[in-house]
Every structure is written in C-alpha cells, then in structure tokens.
Chains A and B, each alone.
Chain A
C-alpha cells in the first residue's frame, strides 16, 4: 500500500481570493452519512426483526456505506451541472452554503432508504424526508462505471428535488445564502468580531442584520482562512475519491450477492439459525447445502477484507505546508480535519493579537 503523502504549498499573504462563484449555483457540503441500522448482534435477532431473511450487515459494510453513498450523491450532483463545488466532508462545514446530511435507515442490497436533510446557511430546509427505492440494476449509455448504481433512481430523486428548490430561489436569496455562509464561518472563528452581523429567528433560520464593509480587513482575512480550509478539504476529497474508486467494484458485488442471497429460498438467517437441514442426511442435496452455506460465508469474508482495505490509507499522515511551516496531521480524516481547523484558528488569533 502506497504511503499517502500530500504537500500543499500555501501563501497566506498572497492572493488567496477565491474565484467568483457562479451567481446561480451554490456550493454543497455533504457530511459523511451515519447509519441508523446497527449491525444485528445475532443472526437470530436479525431474523426476528426482518420479515425477509437477509445476511447480517457487518460494521465494515456499514462504515463503507457511510462514505460510498455520499460520494455517489456528490458525483450525481456534479454531473447535474446545477450546483457549484460539491464536497464530502468528515464533519459539518461551518462555511457551507448548502449542507446535506444523511442517515442510512436501510441498506440490504434490495432496498436502500436514506433519511436526508438539506439546509442552506440561512437555516432554510430544502428537503427533509426519507428516500427509499428498490434496487434496479443500472446501465448507462456511456458505460461510465461511476454513474452506475443499483439505486441510481434514488439519487436522481434527490438531485431533482434539490435542483427544484434552488431554481425556486431568487438571486437575492442565493446571494444571502452565500453571505450568511461566510459570516457564519467568521462567527465560528472570531465570535467577537462577527456577533452583530447575524440574527437567529424564532423559526430557527438566520438572517443578516447588517454587513461588514466590503473592504473590511477582518472579512478579507476570514475569506483567506476559508480558502486554506478548502485546501485540506480538497485533500480529504481526494482521499474519499480514492476510497470510492477502490471499493465501488467490491461494494457493487457485495450488494448483488446480498440480494441474491436474500432472495433465494433459503435465506441466510434461516440457514444459520436452522441447525437441521431439510434434506436427508448424507444425501447430495444435504452435502450441497452444507458446502454452499460455507462457501457463502467464505465469499463474504473476502468482500469484507476488501472493504476493510479501502480504509487502509486513511491513517497515513498528511503534511501541509503553510507559510514555510510544515504541519503534519495524523489520525483519522475526521481528526486531521479538526486539527487543521484548530491550526487555522490559532494562526488567525496570533495574527490579530
């Protein structure tokens, strides 16, 4: 496994101004999903909880899904051409213009159900509902494997609804979303300087009370800092893209295998909880059943090993150079992200002291 090492050279004092965002499109931050479906403790528990017998889902698969699914959503949003930069992040992004969070309610290869919530920086909720679809093997005209997914229709639903909400907003509302996003970021970094700009409304939304001057040095500094945060986000993004590319083939196979297994007459739970075979002892069918059960479990092991390997690079440190100082971030991506944020905050406070 190759070592993951990335050095990013940053000039803080230089021209770090971001490109002018497209007036009609918002940037989207998708937080890594969570899973509501804890792996069953025992196959028997699984059998009693589910009407259709399915294989117990292991933590490795659930963990992989919490990244795979938001990454697939990200690619679909990008492909729609209706949104600005779309990023997948390990944590909530304070500066996000549109934040998407998802909870995987069900994922067994046959059915995918995700509780999805999307809200913009002003607190306006774009969607907040469960998306649920049955698997349909997908084929793309272009043969683009990244666009193919058995639940592509579910993601198409999400993209369509988000696009519709975006289309319904006026240019002024979109501009407000961008402004509030930046002010929120400043508020998190320098509460004293940004406290007076935003007001929280009774319905939970946020509105702008007043704006800092366009040439406010603190605001410009905050914009610079945010650009530096994006640098690490790009590092995270590259890692998630690698992860997605690595696990997509095996995850697709796992889901298909899971579907075949659960739709077969003798489901996994029934097999594992039934000590006695339905076939005459010693008969060909009894031997075949015994071997197929064992083979099924061995194939599962291989899939899980490959899914685990998808995370292998994550613990590698990231090295970022900032104004001739080299910072080494260690731990999981979530830990590295937090560490980088604290470095930026510390840097800002040192400059303003």
Chain B
C-alpha cells in the first residue's frame, strides 16, 4: 500500500480573468515530488497519519455549478502530442549519452503500451464536462459526471489523509488551491488541483497522472465557467455497469 511521507506547498496562484494556463507541468511535478511511495499496493496499509498542520487564512469558495470551457481547456490530442514529444526528447538525450537525463527516469520505463494506456486513461479521467461543488468551512464535495464524488473533510486542517483497500489519498489546501492526490494500486498516481481565478468566475482543474511504468507524468489542464443548471427534471444515478443512468422525475424506475 502506498503511503504519503510529506507534502510540499506550491505557490498561491493569483491569476486574473481570463485565468492563464499553467505554463508547464512544473507545478504539478513539484507537487508530486512531495509524494514518495513507500511501497507498492500489495504492502500492508500505511501507519496512522501524523497530525496535519492547522489551516490558516480564508478559504476560496469553489461552490457552484461549473461547465467545461472547451476553448480554454487543453485539447487532449494536442496535449498528448506534446507529451509524446517530451518523452521522445528524453529518449534522445539518453541515446546521446546525456547522463543528466537519467535521474528523471527513476527506474521508470517508456513502453509504448504503458504510454498509450496512461494517455487513454487520462483522456477519460479528465473529460468531466460538468462539476457540481458544495463547500462549507469543514468540507468540500465535488460531484463529477460518471465518476465518484471528490470529498474532502478538511475541517480546520491544512490537509487530511485517508486510505482504503485500494489506495491512499490526501486532500487539502495549498494556499488558495485545493488538492486531491491519490496513490493507487499498480503505481498509478493521480493529482487534481483546483484553483479559482481572482474574481471567482473561472475554475482551473489541473490533473497530473503518472505511473511507475512511464517516465514522464501527463498533465492536463481544464477550465470551467459557472452556469445555472436547468430545473432538475431527471433522477440520475451513478451505476457501475452503465455509468450515469437517468430517468424522468416521477417516472417508474
């Protein structure tokens, strides 16, 4: 079972409308650098976490209904092309005997299957066309279409950790940013970073995925804008086999 050893803070983003895209994968990489895997998923569960530091400062209010802004968000194909180019450059450096590139690998590989697998999974994970966020002083819940609700009961703490049979996770605040980090079986690491524009009208979700089998993490950045949902005429239910299934309110199931 993976375990968290420490987490490093990233600087507070103070972007203005329109919120600029993150310049590169560096912030996410810095975040993941704070993540050290203790062992693989089959190891014993992690020991109880140390007490997290108290949270300071006011929270940004993420609550509301958000829809994806496809114009500002990463086009996945473009993002993947850039990602593949990064890997090709790394391989080229290694082939040219550039030993400085070696630490980047940290024992990781670059098999085509693993890269394609990560990309396909990342594309699915980062679709998230709609987000429904509820937040108070103790807790935030981010409802996503066709995926489980991201929930962080931070209370007065900077971050909280938990684990279950299939992975460990950490969520909390880094300045004004909200972080969700998951270390799952098979060496799959997922980090979602939520940040608001200065005027609160735009939401950025930067997702970083990496596995033990791919040398370079894949970073996808998406932007969301607020919207008013129409009256709820449907009952929707997240199912395992059919994703979200809806029917008309009042109709028999």
Interface residues of A (CB under 8 A from B): 43, 137, 139-140, 143, 148, 253, 256-257, 260-261, 264, 271-272, 275-277, 280-299, 301-302
Contacts and interface: CB of A to CB of B under 8 A. Distances in A.
B118 A287 contact: yes
Prevailing SS type, chain A contact patch: helix
12 contacts: A143-B251, A143-B252, A257-B239, A257-B240, A282-B114, A282-B187, A283-B114, A285-B117, A286-B117, A291-B121, A291-B190, A295-B148
Contact of A43 (B151, B165, B212): B165
A287 B211 contact: yes
Contacts of B251: 143
A143 B148 CA distance: 28
Interface of B: 41-42, 109, 111, 113-114, 116-118, 120-121, 125, 147-149, 151, 164-167, 182, 184-188, 190, 211-214, 237-241, 250-253
B250 A143 contact: yes
Prevailing SS type, chain B contact patch: mixed
A155 to B, nearest CB: 18
A281 B186 contact: yes
Nearest to A276: B42
A287 B206 CA distance: 19
Given A291-B121, A298-B148, A286 B239 contact: no
Given A288-B121, A295-B148, A301-B164, A282 B186 contact: yes
Given A140-B252, A260-B241, A302-B149, A290 B185 contact: yes
Contacts of A289: 186
Nearest to A283: B117
A282 B211 contact: yes
A186 to B, nearest CB: 49
A282 B182 contact: no
B166 A290 contact: yes
Given A140-B252, A293-B185, A301-B164, A283 B237 contact: no
Given A280-B113, A294-B167, 12 more contacts: A143-B252, A257-B240, A261-B240, A281-B114, A290-B186, A293-B166, A295-B148, A296-B166, A297-B166, A298-B148, A301-B151, A302-B149
Contacts of B148: 295, 298-299, 302
